[in-house]
Homo-oligomer: A and B are copies of this chain.
Amino acid sequence: MSLWDGRFRENLDGNAFVLNASIAFDKRLAQQDVKGSIAWAAALARAGVLTKDESKRIISGLEAVGLEFKKGLFALSASDEDIHTAVERRLGELIGSLSGKLHTGRSRNDQVATDFRLWMMESQPELIGAIKGLQATLVMLAEDNLSTLMPGYTHLQRAQPVTLAHWFLSHFWALQRDRERLADLHQRVAIMPLGCGALAGTGFPIDRQALAKELGFEAPAPNSMDAISDRDFAAEFLFCTAMIGVHLSKLAENIVLFTTAEFGFFELSDAYSTGSSLMPQKKNPDLFELARGKAGTLIGLLAGAVATLKGLPSTYDKDLQEDKVPVFQAFDTLTTIMPVLARALETMTINDERMLAAIDPGMMATDLADYLVRKGIPFREAHNLVGNAVRVAAEKDLSLKDLPLDAYRLLLTGESNSEKEWQAEDVFEADLYQIFDPIKSIETKNAIGGTSPQSVKKQIKRAKSILKGE
C-alpha cells in the first residue's frame, strides 16, 4: 500500500520502488514525524476538522507508535516507502480507519520539511555541545600553558614567539564563529512548513501560529510555495559543518606537524595514536589526519547539496530527497570526531623545552626593528637595517644575538644613512641584546588580542564566560 495508488492501474516496479524509497535514511525522523503528526491532529481538532474524541484517539495511537520506535519495537514493512507512510500504516493497524483522517489538509511535502526542520532543531544542541566540548579542552590547555613559549609561524617559517596558550585559543575563536553561524541558522530552521499543504496552503482553517508555537517553531512559513521547497537550511547547515571541518583541519594540520620528529612539540598518548602494520617504530597521528581528510568530504557534501538545488523549478521536486543523507553524514562525522580530538589533545604530552629551543634569536628581528623605532628611526628604515643585519649575520654564520655591537653599528655607515641622520652609537647600544629574550618579546604584545600573558588571561576570561553563558 502506498499513500497514492487510487489513480494507478499498475503498481510501482520493484526496482523503482527501492530507488524511490527513502525509509533507509528518513526513519531517523521517526520521533519528529510522530511529534509533528500529534500536533497536526490537535490542530485539526481546533479547526473543527476532527472531533475532540477523534483527535484524542489519533494522538494516543501516535504516542504508541512513538513509543515503539523509542523501544526499538517498531517493525518496518516492506511496503513502507518512507517514514511518513510507515507511521501512518502503523497507526492504522493500531486504531483502524480513523487513522485515515490524520492526513487531512496535509501533504508529505509540508510534512517532510517539518520533520527535517524539527530534527535539526533538536539535534543542534548535540552538535553545539561537541563544539563546546572541544572549546573547553582548548581553554583548559590554554590555562595550563599561559606562559609556555613556542615559536609562532607564518608561511610555516619561524616568525615571532607566542605562548602556547595563545595558539590553543586561536582555535577556540574559530570554533566560536562556527557556533555563531549555527545559532544564526536557527532562526531560519525554526520556520514551520506545516500547514502549507502540497504547495498552495491547506484547505482547512488551521491556526498555524498556534501550531508553530506548539511544535517549538518561531513562526509559520510565510509562503506555501516557498516553504515546501526551501532547503536553504540544509545547505546552510552543510556550510556550517564544512567550516567546522576546515577549522578542525587547521588544528589537525598543526598537530600532525607538531608531532613530527622534526618539530617534536607534542607527543600523542598511545591511546590516541596508531602504529604501522609494517614499521614497528611508527606512531601515527591518524585521528588528526582523519579529521583533516574528512574536511574534504564535508566540503563535498556542501558542494553536492547546493548543486542539487541549482536549477530546480518552483515548489517540490523529488530531487529534494537528496537533502537528508548529507546532513546526517555531516552531523555524525562531527559529533563523533570532536570528542575524540578533544581527548587526544588532553592526553598529549607537551614538550616545553623543544618549543623554547625552537625560538631562535632571528625571531626577535622585529623586536630589534621596534627597538630602532624607539630610537627614532622610521620603521621602514629599521626593517631594512635589521634585514641587513640578518644577512650579515648569516654570512658570518652567526645568530643575530651573537653579532657583535660593532657589526650592528657598521650597518649605519652605509648608504642607507647617507644623510648621517643617526649616530650609530646612539642607535645600537649594549642594551639591544636584551631584546633576544623571547619573554620580553611576548610581553610587548600587550594590546587586545596580543600574545602577552596579561592579554591572554583576558582572552581566557572572555572565553570562559562564553562557555558558561551558553
Contacts and interface: CB of A to CB of B under 8 A. Distances in A.
Contact of A4 (B221, B228, B312, B387): B387
Given A270-B8, A381-B97, A246 B306 contact: yes
A188 B188 CA distance: 18
A246 B310 contact: yes
A289 B320 CA distance: 9
Nearest to A230: B174
Nearest to A85: B277
A145 interface: no
Chain B CB within 10 Å, residue with most, of A16, A106, A221, A279:
A279
A275 interface: yes
Judged by DSSP, the binding face of A is helix
A170 B225 contact: yes
Given A180-B188, A388-B7, A459-B222, A301 B299 contact: no
Contacts of A104: 370, 373, 378-379
A123 interface: no
Nearest to A299: B307
Q: How many copies does the complex hold?
A: 4
A451 B224 contact: yes
Contacts of A274: 2, 4, 12, 20
A4 B383 contact: yes
Contacts of A3: 275, 277, 380, 383
A198 B322 contact: no
Given A15-B340, A373-B104, A198 B160 contact: yes
Contacts of A315: 152-154, 159, 170
Contacts of A296: 304-310, 319, 322
B449 A222 contact: yes
Nearest to A294: B322
Interface string A397-433: 0001000000000000000000000000000000000
A435 to B, nearest CB: 10
Contacts of A15: 336, 339-340, 343
Contacts of A101: 373, 378-380
Nearest to A109: B154
Contacts of A209: 448
B225 A445 contact: no
Interface stretch (A25-33, A59-67, A70-78, A248-256): A248-256
A69 interface: no
Given A203-B370, A379-B100, A448-B220, A384 B6 contact: yes
A173 B340 contact: no
Nearest to A325: B297
A426 to B, nearest CB: 18
Contacts of A228: 154
Nearest to A312: B250
Contact of A450 (B49, B88, B224, B273): B224
A260 interface: yes
Interface string A278-301: 111111111101101111111111
A301 to B, nearest CB: 6
Contacts of A310: 245-246, 249, 292, 295-296, 299, 307, 310-311
Interface in A192-242: 195-209, 220-230, 232, 235-236, 239, 242
A468 B48 CA distance: 38
B381 A319 contact: no
Nearest to A198: B278
Given A154-B317, A295-B310, A312-B253, A160 B304 contact: no
Contacts of A303: 299-300, 302-304, 307
A292 B319 contact: yes
A284 B6 contact: no
A18 B274 CA distance: 12
A344 interface: yes
B224 A278 contact: no
A23 interface: no
A391 B8 contact: yes
24 contacts: A4-B280, A6-B391, A8-B283, A20-B287, A101-B379, A103-B383, A153-B313, A154-B279, A166-B223, A171-B226, A172-B223, A174-B226, A200-B442, A209-B448, A222-B462, A223-B459, A227-B449, A253-B313, A280-B383, A281-B363, A293-B317, A297-B322, A300-B300, A310-B311
